[in-house]
Amino acid sequence: MLKQIVLASGNAGKLREFSQLFNSWDIEVLPQSEFGVTDAEETGLSFIENALIKARHASQVSGLPALADDSGLAVDALGGAPGIYSARYSGDGATDKRNNIKLLEALEGVEEIRRSASFHCALAFVRSFDDPVPLVCNAQWRGRILSEPVGEQGFGYDPLFYVASEGMTSAQLPREVKNRLSHRAQAVAQFEVMWRENMRGIDLAGQ
C-alpha cells in the first residue's frame, strides 16, 4: 500500500534533499504546493515550534499527514543568530545571497577560531492537523563560517559553512555526503527510527 504524506515546505533546496533522503522509503512524500498549501506564518520561538506550526497547517489544508522541517544556522559568536530567523535574516525580500552577505558583515573582523556555528533541523510529523502526539526530532551539524562563499552545490548558507571533517564547505560536498552528514540527514535518521516504532500497522488517515 502506497502511503502519501505532505512535505510542508516551499524551499526548493530542502525539497530536493528530502526527495533523496526519502528515496528508499515505501511512502510517497509530496510537496505542499501540490495541495495548494501556502507558507504558514512562522510565529514560534524555536525550530520545533515552527516545524509543528508548518506541519499542522499543511495537514489542515491538505487533509493528509504532514511532515515539516524548520531549520537554520546558529553562529556562536552572534549568540545563536540568525537561528530561527535564518530565512528572514536580511529582512524583506531576503534571499540566500543577501542572507550570506549579511552574515559575512556581522562576522567581519571575527577571527577564525571564534567563527564556530551549527546548522539545526527540527522535523515534525502529524497524522492530522490536531494530532496530540506528533513525532518530533531535532539534530545539529557543527561547522565554521568562512570569510567568503565557496562551492556551488546545496542552498542557503552552504557556501559559508566549512565542514572540518571533509575539508570543504557543505556547498562543495557531493550531495550523497551532505545527505549522510547534515543536520537534515541526522534528523531524518531519527525520524526513521520513530516512524518504525510508531507507525507500524497504523493506517495513515485511512489511506
Q: Which residues bind ligand ITT (CB under 6 A)?
A: 9-11, 14, 39, 42, 54, 69-73, 86-87, 96, 99, 119, 154-158, 182, 184
SS3 content of the chain, % helix, strand, coil (to 5): 40, 25, 40
Is 83 annotated as ligand-binding? no
If the CB atoms of residues 71 and 127 are measured against ligand ITT, the closer one turns out to be: 71
Residue 203 annotated among the catalytic residues of the structure: no
Is 74 annotated as ligand-binding? no
Q: How buried is residue 8: exposed, middle or buried, by Cβ count under 10 Å (0-12/13-18/19+)?
A: buried
Q: Which of 161, 188, 194, 205 lies closest to 68 in space, CA to CA?
A: 188
- Residues lying near Mg ion in the complex (CB under 5 A) are found at 87
Q: How far is the CB of 9 from ligand ITT (least distance, A)?
A: 3
Alpha-carbon gap, residue 95 to 157, rounded angstroms:
10
CB atoms within 10 A of CB 205: 15
Q: Are 50 and 42 in contact (CB under 8 A)?
A: yes
Catalytic-role residue among 26, 39, 70, 131: 70
Q: How far is the CB of 92 from Mg ion (least distance, A)?
A: 14
Interaction partner, residue 9 (ligand ITT, Mg ion, none; CB < 5-8 Å by kind): ligand ITT
Q: How far is the CB of 203 from ligand ITT (least distance, A)?
A: 27
Is 93 annotated as ligand-binding? no
Q: Which amino acid is at 24?
A: S
If the CB atoms of residues 99 and 127 are measured against ligand ITT, the closer one turns out to be: 99
DSSP for residue 34: G
Is 178 annotated as ligand-binding? yes
- The residues annotated as belonging to the active site are 70
Annotated binding-site positions: 9-14, 41, 70-71, 155-158, 178, 183-184
